[in-house]
Amino acid sequence: MRAVQYDTYGEPDVLHVVDAPTPTLKPNEVLVAVQFAAVNPFDNKLRSGAMAGMVKVTFPVTPGSEIAGRVAALGSEVQGSAVGDEVFGWATGAYAEFAVALATGVAPRPDALPAEVAAALPVAGEAALRGLRLLELRAGETLLIHGAAGAVGSIAVQLAVARGITVIGTASERDAEAVRELGAHPVRYGDGVFERVRELAPDGVDAVLDIAGAGDLPGSIELAGGTERVVTLADSAATSLGVTFSSGGRKDQTPDVLRQLADAVVDGSLVIAPARHLPLADAAEAQALVAAGGRRGKVLLDL
Ligand SMILES: NC(=O)c1ccc[n+]([C@@H]2O[C@H](COP(=O)([O-])OP(=O)(O)OC[C@H]3O[C@@H](n4cnc5c(N)ncnc54)[C@H](OP(=O)(O)O)[C@@H]3O)[C@@H](O)[C@H]2O)c1
């Protein structure tokens, strides 16, 4: 099968297309013929070697962790799925014609959910749901989200607003209007961000969800009146500051989460920004685009 791999850490140009063996399955896994694989910031962090101290990899690495596609084969113990089912979810080695997923890591894709939208939901949607859950938000509270225009942030804003939470969202000047359309009060990120937030929330905020990882935790702690209700998904300074860093894991990757996200898109309460599409062979360009920022919507590889 065609797959994108890298044999060493480095810049995006270490990615290249290979003819790789089709993966074999463990009893609880399914093989998915990939239609779309999303490119995530994590893929860049792993490929660059920035996470070498935290995540052990075996070269060659086939990147990618979320897909939409069709079930192509079932592990010996998998029940409730059939070859040919249209699914979406978390997978390993997603930048390839075939990727492996836990049977519990994918869910049926409803007809009303386009595959290209489904492929953009698992990683960002689960992270947004988890971040909000950890903060134990109640209707009427005020939440500050750093990185409100990004893939995770856009979902977190919409889910929080739907629960009756007032959201202040940091974003670039360019994305301010988009953040307002999602239902949040936009504030421009960068120097002076906390003064601008204070103009909207003079008494501070109830909670902060940091998805930008841009060094804003100390100011966030001050604004929230302590570390208790500050959660980051992206800032490694969290531990030294006493803030919760949530990275999630397999236990969080459930069909229930996928169904909840799919339902929200289908009923119109969750809107996902259109993705940029590139062919598999342009995976290096796709990762470079994600690293560069300055865009809305995910970057997808089309198989
Ligand atoms: N821990 C977890 O479970 C988990 C799960 C998913 C993602 N993540 C992490 O969360 C981060 C965001 O992921 P994503 O998929 O949402 O990425 P994304 O779509 O690229 O969004 C990142 C957003 O942050 C904005 N941003 C940049 N600098 C900022 C600043 N100083 N203040 C506020 N916003 C700023 C970017 O704006 P510009 O376009 O203007 O640069 C962009 O809109 C990544 O670090 C990713 O690895 C963690």
Pocket test residue of 129, 233, 298 for ligand 1, highest count of atoms within 8 A of CB: 233
Measured distance CA(24)–CA(299) in Å, rounded: 28
pLDDT by residue (tens digit) across 35-60?
999 999 999 999 999 999 999 999 99
Which residues belong to CATH 3.40.50.720 in the chain? Answer: 124-245
Which residues belong to CATH 3.90.180.10 in the chain? Answer: 2-120+272-302
* 209 Cβ below 6 A of ligand 1: no
* 248 Cβ below 6 A of ligand 1: yes
Ligand 1 atom nearest to 45, measured from its CA: 47
Ligand 1 atom nearest to 42, measured from its CA: 47
* 48 Cβ below 6 A of ligand 1: no
pLDDT by residue (tens digit) across 111-123?
999 999 999 999 9
- pLDDT for 209: 99
Q: Nearest residue CA, atom 31 of ligand 1?
A: 214
* 147 Cβ below 6 A of ligand 1: yes
Do strands 106-108 and 86-90 pair parallel, antiparallel, or not at all (unpaired)? antiparallel
Q: Nearest residue CA, atom 48 of ligand 1?
A: 233
Q: How far is the CA of 79 from the centre of ligand 1 (A)?
A: 37
Nearest C-alpha neighbor of 286 from the set 44, 121, 115, 88: 44
Measured distance CA(173)–CA(151) in Å, rounded: 17
* 39 Cβ below 6 A of ligand 1: no
> What dotted CATH number matches 124-245?
3.40.50.720
Measured distance CA(67)–CA(267) in Å, rounded: 22
Right CATH for 2-120+272-302 from 3.90.180.10, 3.40.50.620, 3.10.580.10, 3.40.50.300: 3.90.180.10
The values of phi and psi at residue 67, to 5°, are: -150, 160
* 294 Cβ below 6 A of ligand 1: yes
pLDDT (mean) for 160-183: 98
pLDDT by residue (tens digit) across 176-215?
999 999 999 999 999 999 999 999 999 999 999 999 999 9
Q: Nearest residue CA, atom 41 of ligand 1?
A: 293
Q: How far is the CA of 59 from the centre of ligand 1 (A)?
A: 27
* 299 Cβ below 6 A of ligand 1: no
pLDDT by residue (tens digit) across 104-158?
999 999 999 999 999 999 999 999 999 999 999 999 999 999 999 999 999 999 9
106 contacts 80 by C-beta, under 8 angstroms: no
Kindly report the three-state secondary structure assignment for every residue of 129-161: HHHHHHHCCCCCCEEEEECCCCHHHHHHHHHHH
CA angle (186 as vertex; 181, 188 as ends), nearest 5 = 135
pLDDT by residue (tens digit) across 230-265?
999 999 999 999 999 999 999 999 999 999 999 999
